[in-house]
Amino acid sequence: MREVAFIKQNKAKWLEIEHVVNGKMKKNPDDLSSLYINLINDLSFSQTYYPKSKTTVYLNFLSAQIFQKIYKTKRIEENRIKHFFVTEVPMTVYEYRRYLYYAFAFFILFVAIGVISSIYDKDFATLILGEGYVNQTLENIKKGDPTAIYGSGANWSTSLMIIVNNLVVGAKLYIYGVFGGVGTLYALMQNSIMLGAFQFFFKTQNVLLESAKGIWLHGAFEIFGMVVEAMAGLILRASLLFPKTLSRLESFKLGFRNSFKIYLSTVPFTIFAGIIEGFVTRYAQVMPLVLNIVIIFGTLSVIAFYYFIYPHIVIKKLKKNAIISGAKIR
């Protein structure tokens, strides 16, 4: 069958599925399953006869979307919040996982720029962090507590201030994606270069380990969350710049809906990071080293598992329990 005839024959069915995915039409789970079976058959046919065609790309994209819709509809008796974090977010992260890799690549690059700049310019840390902050930290180092600055202020007020500030930073990393991703990358660059310069500054003062004992107590959640927020911003960017077979408006609506889920998933980590920074980090230098290690690697393991490993586990489970035989997720 010629591709034009294939499209003409199935166009109405595909448009119906698009309407279901975009929420313009409702179907019960059985009807969704039937639609998905037909779509998988069309995708298989297209992969066989038109492997490099835009039609195949479109059908693969559409099949991933309807697959999510099926399992979203199946959760009727499940707690909505639980479903959101346990199933919906991991599925969305899996679908857009390459943007997580991109965000981390940019993060590492920008941190490296901060470190290298500090190596070749001894005043770089002062330029980035501010003279007042650097001088205060030098005084704290002389007193034997390089992270003493985290002990200023009352617990609750400090936590609240930090949480609000980090939520604002995260929102910028995400929303700035609408400016072609330039705003997202700029915000990520600012924070990452600052981190690189900050850590290298402590190294020059021979207190890198002591500083890490404090900074990374809350930093695992805070910094990893920042990268995920940048991921969401990059998804927003892609939805605007690369709509594929969808109209730019429909692509943006879909990209916004999915990227917002990912952004929203970082909020609990941001809140916990603020609580740790306000209540725990101030005791970093006096608590047992083993406790520092447990908290740092414990929090890092939790957030890394959730965004890097758990999505694959969820997808593997869904494949295994799929109500449709032969279902494929790419």
Summarised one tens digit per residue, pLDDT across range 170-223 is 999 999 999 989 999 999 999 999 999 999 999 999 988 988 988 999 999 999
For residue 325, count CB atoms less than 10 angstroms from its CB and return exposed for 0-12, middle for 13-18, buried for 19 or more.
exposed
pLDDT at 95: 86
The gap between the terminal CA atoms of the chain, to the nearest Å, is 25
Question: Of the ranges 118-127, 241-250, 296-305, which is most confident?
Answer: 296-305
Please compute the mean of the pLDDT values over residues 1-9 and round it to a whole number: 80
Whether 265 and 89 have beta carbons less than 8 Å apart is answered as yes
80 vs 262, higher pLDDT: 262
Whether 110 and 196 have beta carbons less than 8 Å apart is answered as yes
* Helix, strand, coil fractions of the chain, as percent rounded to 5: 80, 0, 20
Nearest to 227, CA basis, from 95, 113, 90, 106: 106
The residue ranges of every structural domain in the chain are 3-74, 92-313
104 vs 3, higher pLDDT: 104
CA angle in degrees (0–180, nearest 5) for 227-207-300: 30
Distance CA 234, CA 154 (A): 37
98 CB-near residues (< 8 Å, 6+ apart): none
pLDDT at 70: 65
- Residue 266 pLDDT more than 90? yes
Structure tokens given for 200: 């290298």
Please give the helix or strand (H or E) that residue 18 lies within, else none: helix 3-21
Question: Of the ranges 14-28, 122-136, 154-168, 216-230, which is most confident?
Answer: 216-230
pLDDT band for 31, please (50, 70, 90 cuts). Answer: low
pLDDT band for 148, please (50, 70, 90 cuts). Answer: confident
pLDDT at 33: 64
Locate tokens 């910094």: which residue? 223
pLDDT at 327: 42
Give the amino acid at 84.
F
Please compute the mean of the pLDDT values over residues 215-232 and round it to a whole number: 95
pLDDT band for 304, please (50, 70, 90 cuts). Answer: very high
CA angle in degrees (0–180, nearest 5) for 161-163-167: 120
Report the Cα 299 to chain-centroid distance in Å: 16
- Residue 271 pLDDT more than 90? yes
77 vs 191, higher pLDDT: 191
For the chain, the average pLDDT equals 86
Structure tokens given for 283: 């005791």
Nearest to 90, CA basis, from 311, 275, 258: 311
Encode burial over 22-54: b for 16+ CB neighbours within 10 A, e otherwise: eeeeebeeeebbebbeebbebbebbbeebeeee
- Residue 279 pLDDT more than 50? yes
Whether 188 and 107 have beta carbons less than 8 Å apart is answered as yes
For residue 188, count CB atoms less than 10 angstroms from its CB and return exposed for 0-12, middle for 13-18, buried for 19 or more.
buried
